[in-house]
Amino acid sequence: MKKYRLLQAAGFAALSIGLAGSAHAAGTTAGATITNTVSVNYNVGAVAQTAQSATNTVTVDRKVVLTMTTAGATTTVAPGALAQVTTFTVTNASNDTIDVGLAATNQASGATAQHGGTDAFDVGNVRYYVDTNGNGTYDAGTDTQVTYIDELAADTTKTVFVVSDIPAGATNGQVSGVVLTATAESGATVGSEGPVLTNTAGANTAGVDTVLADAAGTGGDVAGDGKYSVKGDYTVAGAVLSVNKYSTIVSDPINGASNPKAIPGAVIEYCIAVANGAGAATATNLAISDALPATVTYQSAYGIFVNATVSGSTCSGGAAGGAYSATPPTVTGTLSNLAAGTSGALRFRVTIN
């Protein structure tokens, strides 16, 4: 009895191992055959007769199921930025290897999926890349540009990057929605995009039939169409700059610094104030260039001050910097980066001719 139990346990273990090795979430592989044979033993009188048997074979059909997800957060972009990335994962939950066609379109209108805002502009130069090295991050020059995923095996997921250019006219806070649609295609030939898969019409055949069993995606496709679509989006984080140029009469040759007037010989201090709006992206590389008219002369003895403090229509302080070019007369200078809600200024003086 003990020996029988050991053998029984070993048999169960072997069965478990065999099932684990062949089981797939997508089910039995399309094209596989299910064959079983029945035997009938019988007697005539007391004499055992030759057993009779019959065999049945069923070919497993193709059940097509595509699913797709996108990253949870919107992609933050700057106006005019090139090669901006939204990330999607495409999963072949079918019981067969398939090709997957890819098509991204600009969302026509309405609420965007990730940001939750309203679609306001279209991105351009849209292309697709497969994550070649499997690190989940778009690597320019490494990841492969494609129009379809070739030979995606059953129960396999691929990361796809939709790469687009942002128009220069997009403004802070605007959102652009994109819709990526994956389409199931025949995966019969490596390196060649197969035809779109469709439901097999009529009764079950002896060969491999196709049943489209996908659910409706979130991007507008319907259940059972062999497609799956998902929305992603871009949100613009741009600087919102305001620029003002203020002037203060410092002195004149008649009144000095007491109620001076803008007469020839008077000294004027110019304040070029730059402010970045609340909630905006940080503005960098702030280069100021101010061409002076022939009616004034730059005061080189006073110099140029950058990163001055702005108060109303005047500015003060700052660090010596900037440059003056006499041909043509131009004052230039660079301000430090301006985060949202901050300001800076450049100031210098001229004499009225």
Q: Are residues 148 and 170 in the same domain?
A: yes
Please state, for a pLDDT cut of 90, what percent of the chain lies above it.
86
Q: What is the mean pLDDT of residues 167-175?
A: 94
Single out the residue of 269, 273, 226 nearest to residue 250, CA to CA: 269
Q: Which residue's structure tokens are 């796809």? A: 160
Q: Give per-residue pLDDT as tens, 80-100.
A: 999 999 999 999 999 999 999
Q: E strand or H helix at 247, and its extent?
A: strand 241-251
Distance CA 332, CA 175 (A): 35
pLDDT at 146 over 80: yes
Tokens of 130: 């497969």
Q: Give per-residue pLDDT as tens, 49-77.
A: 999 999 999 999 999 999 999 988 999 99
pLDDT of residue 56: 92
Domain that holds residue 312: 241-352
pLDDT of residue 4: 36
Distance CA 329, CA 346 (A): 16
Q: Answer yes or no: is 99 within a domain.
A: yes
Q: Which residue's structure tokens are 């003086």? A: 349
Q: Answer yes or no: is 52 within a domain.
A: no
* SS3 assignment, position 132: coil
Between residues 11 and 169, which one has the greater pLDDT?
169
Other Cβ atoms closer than 10 A to 172: 17
DSSP code for 18: H
pLDDT of residue 21: 35
Calculate the average pLDDT of the chain: 91
Q: Are residues 129 and 173 in the same domain?
A: yes
pLDDT of residue 25: 61
pLDDT of residue 215: 95
pLDDT of residue 24: 53
| pTM for the full predicted model | 0.76
Q: Are residues 220 and 259 in the same domain?
A: no
Q: Answer yes or no: is 47 within a domain.
A: no
Q: Are residues 224 and 88 in the same domain?
A: yes
Whether residue 308 contacts residue 346, with contact meaning beta carbons closer than 8 Å, is answered with yes
Q: Are residues 228 and 245 in the same domain?
A: no
pLDDT of residue 71: 84
Q: Are residues 180 and 223 in the same domain?
A: yes
Q: E strand or H helix at 9, and its extent?
A: helix 2-22
Q: Which residues, in sequence order, are bridge partners of residue 36?
A: 56
Distance CA 346, CA 219 (A): 50
Whether residue 165 contacts residue 81, with contact meaning beta carbons closer than 8 Å, is answered with yes
Q: Are residues 265 and 207 in the same domain?
A: no
